[in-house]
Homo-oligomer: A and B are copies of this chain.
């Protein structure tokens, strides 16, 4: 049972990957069906409301994936400066590869749909807020003030989303690297 993924999970994983790379409107159900090998009948069985419903589950899947990525690094490194820096350096390596197929975690979908689908927008916002709360927690533990932790977490989130965007547009990890190097300066005041 442990490794037997069912059709629903496969659909979510494939959709999550494709939406990250090409966005909501850039991916058709056809793409998801072909890439997953799961027929349309099954898709509409598990997601009766169709593409939008699948996209929301895909966003939540991406959200959890990113949470795990952040937390894994944070558990190893106590100092928030070093932990956040390490996380961004790691991203710079991934997105520096010319053949990266990761895309903006949820930024693309968020930007495409913020005027057209409230349910999707909300799902994206929740993802962003959860990531933010991880940064807040890490900063609070290191005795940053409540206010400072909150504002810094926003900035960190923006730097990461913006940095990924720059790096994948340039097909080059340099932007994320430059950003990682500024983290100590930014976190100097508690």
Q: A17 to nearest B CB, angstroms?
A: 12
Q: How many copies does the complex hold?
A: 2
Please indicate the chain B residues that have their CB under 8 angstroms from the CB of A33 in the complex.
Answer: none
The chain B residue with its CB closest to the CB of A132 is B166
What 3 A-B pairs come out closest when comparing CB atoms? A162-B162, A158-B162, A25-B25
> Which of B26, B112, B158, B185 lies in contact with A175, CB distance below 8 A?
B158
Convert A108-123 into 0s and 1s, putting 1 for each residue whose CB lies closer than 8 angstroms to a CB of B: 1011111110000100
Chain A contact residues (Cβ within 8 angstroms of B): what range?
A: 35 or more
Which DSSP category, helix, strand, loop or mixed, fits chain A's interface?
helix
A179 interfacial by beta-carbon distance below 8 Å: yes
A74 interfacial by beta-carbon distance below 8 Å: no
Please indicate the chain B residues that have their CB under 8 angstroms from the CB of A103 in the complex.
Answer: 111, 114
Please indicate the chain B residues that have their CB under 8 angstroms from the CB of A179 in the complex.
Answer: 154-155, 158
CB of A182 within 8 A of CB of B175, answer no
A22-B116, A104-B111 known; 4 new pairs, CB 8 Å cut-off, are A23-B112, A107-B165, A114-B168, A158-B179
